Each structure stands twice: as structure tokens, then as C-alpha cells.
Amino acid sequence: MNDSSKNVDRYWKKNIQIVSILMFLWFLASFGFGIIFVNDLDEISFFGFKLGFWFAQQGSIIIFVAIIFIYIKLMKNLDQEFNKDLDD
């Protein structure tokens, strides 16, 4: 395997790692907090909301936005690293 295809390989592995972690957070915020554990979280109050209800109707959406922007940032860094390696 030559250097450039090793780089490509590493880039893809790194990419999968980033995506897997963020997809886990996505699942936790929506299906986890908003659906599966919603009744347990409802025992906790959060400002004027029950916490589970808040995740289901508002919190999950805010977390979705955050996840995409974290992804944009991490991928930008990864792209830069990858391009530098190609130039070397």
C-alpha cells in the first residue's frame, strides 16, 4: 500500500469515528431522552418544563443543530490535516 492510499484509509477511519460518536449523541438526545427515558426525566423540572417533555419538544432540536456544527468543525480540521499530508 502506498502513502497516499494509507492517508485515504486513515481519513476514512477518522471520518467514521467522528460520525459514529455524533450519531450516538443524536440517538441519545432524541430517541433516548425524548422517547425511551422521557417519563423518568419528567420527574426533573427544568425552568417551567418537565425535563423529558423539554427534550421531546425543544431540547433535541437544539442539540441536533449543535451536532451538525460540531461535525462541520471537526471535518474542517480533518480535511486540512488530510490535504497537508497530501502536499507533504
Task: Name the residues that contact other proteins, by CB under 8 A.
Answer: 8, 11-12, 15, 19, 22-23, 26, 30-31, 34-36, 38, 42, 46-50, 53-54, 56-58, 60-62, 64-65, 67-69, 71-72, 75-76, 79, 82-83
CB of 14 to other proteins, least distance (A): 11
SS (H, E, C) the chain: CCHHHHHHHHHHHHHHHHHHHHHHHHHHHHHHHHHHCHHHHCCCEECCEEHHHHHHHHHHHHHHHHHHHHHHHHHHHHHHHHHHHHHC
Query: In angstroms, what is the minimal distance from the CB of 3 to other proteins?
Result: 15
